[in-house]
Amino acid sequence: MGFSFVGIAKAAPLEEAARQLEAWLHHGYHGKMAYMEQHFDKRVDPTKLVEGAKSVVTLMYNYHTEAEQIDPNAPKIAKYAYGEDYHHVIKDKLRQLLQYIQTEVGEVGGRCFVDSAPVMERQWAAKSGLGWTGKNTLLIHPKAGSYFFLATLILDAILESDQPMKDYCGTCRRCIEACPTQAISPEGYLLDASKCISYLTIELRAAIPPEFKGQMDNWMFGCDVCQDVCPWNRFSTPHQETAFEPHPDLLVLSAADWKELTEEVFQKVFKKSAVKRVKYEGLKRNIAFLED
């Protein structure tokens, strides 16, 4: 089905992650993402999210691409949003996988999740031995890097669990030093999402705070800086998913084209894209903020 890696963990409360999440929310690092405060119990305990949950299966799906925007001065878009919306593409694959399991094994109950429910995907991935949580707070696989979508199957079947791996970030501080808005704490492993360019350009519905003027590194949707500078991403390989190929017009648009972007072009280029989440007005807001 195209997944690169799979790991399994026992469905049980994530006690350490619960403490970390509580502290993170207390400090307001989630900004205006009020949904992060909701369903706390379900977020940290899969047995409260899925009845009879026994195992959490995490899968990784590669989205890395070497394709780039032609105009170096064009406002930038994160690689994950080049093609079709990953929520739909991967959710369909997960459903197929669950059906396959039920056909092969018999009665197995479960639910599929792709970044759309209170599931701590990265924590489960790390617990399942699929990598470690890096100083940039992303999951890093030692042989493949971090350009992966995470997908989760929570099942009522008892499966053999995998073991976590050690952290290999070492003394490296490249992501911390490269972050344009200093969103990663000086020690790493902690992200103030309210300062993150991905948050500012996607999650934040209000005006982008003026203190970020000149700090956005020309990103109009998302940001890849902390991944681009990570040494482990030298092991990244191009994805093989046709659905993630960019619209033919996306990479050729110049800085001037983006400045004059019409709603018609927006709807055509981003017809099935995750970029539609910010709507035409949101993307125009981001582009205007970069120009002022």
Structure tokens at 35: 């949904």
Task: Tell me how far apart the alpha carbons of residues 247 and 269 are, in angstroms, rounded to a whole number.
Answer: 6
Which positions are catalytic? Answer: 115
Task: Tell me how far apart the alpha carbons of residues 217 and 57 are, in angstroms, rounded to a whole number.
Answer: 36
Task: Tell me how far apart the alpha carbons of residues 119 and 113 are, in angstroms, rounded to a whole number.
Answer: 8
Task: Tell me how far apart the alpha carbons of residues 112 and 176 are, in angstroms, rounded to a whole number.
Answer: 33
Alpha helices in the chain (DSSP H): 15-26, 40-44, 86-105, 121-127, 174-178, 197-198, 225-228, 255-259, 263-269, 279-291
Computed on alpha carbons and rounded to an integer, the radius of gyration of the chain in Å comes to 19
Task: Tell me how far apart the alpha carbons of residues 183 and 188 are, in angstroms, rounded to a whole number.
Answer: 10
Task: Tell me how far apart the alpha carbons of residues 244 and 82 are, in angstroms, rounded to a whole number.
Answer: 6
Q: Give the residue among 46, 112, 123 at the shortest CA–CA distance from 131.
A: 123
Structure tokens at 176: 């911390």
